[in-house]
């Protein structure tokens, strides 16, 4: 499988090169040259396959021959060695719980797969790899955990000061060793822009071996397809595919789902659930893309005003707005609606949502009001304890800390504060 840049279809690399580079030199994102199609028989008999066999079958065409089959099976086995249950919340609405991994967030899957791929590809290189990543919350902790103590790899995480939860901040600032946190006095979009500037800095890249662990990296983005295949394995009504609602910030997760659907996965419709950062909900109404400055919300991991991965969704639909609109809807959910949803679902259904899952639940509910008779899945992307400071006042009760989180919360935060000027980041990287 080759990958081309979304800015230049003639610029092609294999999976290994795309993983190591992270972003194409022309600032485009790598996109697969073909979307592999999986036969109907696989989906009809999916319960007969183990989760590991499903993940291997999904990712193998994208990896090609750059990782040996037995090594790839080992990689996917280590990536998904925790449960991802589909849980009934109420009649017709199910939660796909993606928070049972080591950092209690859906990004564990992509971060674990990518860290293992990068270690595999760089094990014989003499130079140190610097993984540069911007986070709006969960990516930082997942990447830190996935790459912790990996030989020959340093991780530099940029996060917006005061705009991640206290649990998220502890997860990305307390590991030490090869994990380094930069606390930026700005928004996630500022952090993301700094990372993009570093990758476009030709002189810097001649001196340092930089790569990205954001969802722009194919090794982070593509394994997110696993969620959707495993959801279908657990789906109770194979004659009626579900509507799937995805809490969406940088749009890598929902793009992976739509890619899985293009491969043959049965899905009725997709919903991108957004918070007050309504760039895509407005685009789906007008057909005109206008990026905005990010707004801070209770669902902070989705506080993105210019989602990088949306270009991949457009690529998947050949930039045909009408075709995209037939398959994708998008809703903007306010903080007040988010809190009301957490309270209502907890009281009526005895199910505790995190703020991102609440946005997903509410958006799915809105869609189902106007499309009666549908059944739906929303992705519960993080454990509520990661946002206890939001959730506890709403439900007027404590969210118990899992044992692992209790230990992390006792640790001391270690970060370096910096502004939004690129030269400050550049100097820091060169000092490394």
Please list the active-site residues. Answer: 107
φ, ψ of residue 320 to 5 degrees: the values are -95, 105
CA atoms within 13 A on the CB side of 290: 7
Burial degree of 40 (CB within 10 A; 0-12, 13-18, 19+): exposed
As given in the structure block, the two tokens for residue 319 are 């930039």
CA 279 to chain centre: 18
Q: Which residues pair with 389 in a beta bridge?
A: none
Number of H helices, E strands in the chain: 20, 14
196-204 LR contacts (CB < 8 Å, sep 24+)? 196/23, 196/27, 197/422, 197/425, 198/132, 198/422, 198/425, 198/426, 198/429, 199/22, 199/23, 199/27, 199/132, 200/27, 201/426, 204/426, 204/429, 204/430
Q: Which residues contact 417 (CB under 8 A, 6 or more apart)?
A: 161, 182, 183, 185
Taking the alpha carbons at both ends of the chain, their separation in whole angstroms is: 35
C-beta separation of 245 from 378 below 8 A: yes
215: helix, coil or strand? coil
Spatial distance between the Cα atoms of 313 and 413, rounded to a whole number of angstroms: 37
DSSP string, 353-386: PPHHHHHHHHHHHHHHHHSTT--EEEEE-B-GGG
C-alpha dihedral sign at 88, 91, 94, 95 = negative
Spatial distance between the Cα atoms of 124 and 151, rounded to a whole number of angstroms: 11
**DSSP H or E run through 416:** strand 416-418
Of 67, 229, 100, residue with least CA distance to 244: 229
């Amino acid at each position: 499988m080759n990958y081309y840049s979304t800015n230049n279809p003639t610029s092609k690399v294999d999976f290994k090169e795309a993983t190591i580079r992270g972003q194409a030199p022309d600032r485009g994102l790598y996109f697969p040259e073909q979307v592999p199609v999986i036969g109907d028989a696989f989906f009809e008999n999916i319960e007969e396959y183990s989760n590991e066999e499903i993940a291997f079958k999904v990712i193998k065409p994208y990896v090609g021959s750059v990782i040996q089959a037995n090594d790839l099976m080992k990689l996917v086995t280590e990536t998904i060695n925790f449960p991802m249950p589909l849980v009934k919340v109420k009649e017709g609405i199910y939660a796909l719980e993606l928070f049972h991994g080591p950092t209690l967030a859906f990004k564990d899957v992509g971060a674990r797969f990518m860290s293992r791929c990068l270690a595999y590809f760089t094990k014989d290189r003499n130079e140190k790899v610097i993984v540069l990543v911007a986070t709006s919350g969960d990516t930082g902790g997942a990447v830190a955990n996935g790459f912790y103590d990996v030989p020959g790899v340093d991780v530099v995480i940029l996060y917006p000061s005061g705009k991640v939860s206290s649990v998220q901040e502890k997860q990305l600032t307390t590991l030490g060793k090869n994990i380094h946190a930069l606390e930026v006095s700005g928004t996630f979009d500022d952090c993301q822009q700094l990372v993009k500037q570093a990758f476009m800095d030709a002189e810097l890249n001649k001196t340092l071996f930089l790569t990205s662990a954001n969802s722009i990296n194919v090794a982070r983005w593509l394994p997110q397809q696993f969620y959707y295949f495993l959801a279908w394995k657990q789906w109770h009504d194979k004659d009626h595919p579900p509507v799937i609602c995805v809490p969406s910030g940088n749009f890598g997760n929902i793009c992976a789902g739509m890619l899985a659907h293009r491969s043959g996965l049965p899905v009725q419709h997709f919903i991108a659930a957004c918070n007050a950062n309504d760039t895509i909900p407005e685009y789906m109404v007008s057909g005109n893309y206008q990026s905005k400055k990010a707004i801070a919300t209770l669902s902070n991991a989705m506080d993105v005003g210019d989602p990088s991965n949306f270009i991949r969704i457009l690529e998947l639909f050949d930039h045909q707005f009408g075709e995209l609109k037939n398959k994708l809807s998008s809703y903007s959910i306010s903080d007040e609606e988010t809190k009301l949803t957490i309270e209502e679902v907890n009281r009526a259904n005895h199910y505790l949502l995190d703020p991102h899952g609440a946005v997903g639940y509410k958006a799915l509910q809105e869609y189902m009001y106007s499309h009666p008779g549908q059944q739906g899945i929303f992705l519960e992307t993080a454990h509520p304890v990661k946002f206890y400071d939001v959730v506890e006042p709403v439900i007027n009760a404590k969210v118990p800390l899992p044992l692992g989180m209790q230990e992390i919360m006792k640790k001391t935060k270690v970060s370096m504060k910096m502004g939004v000027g690129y030269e400050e980041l550049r100097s820091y990287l060169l000092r490394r």
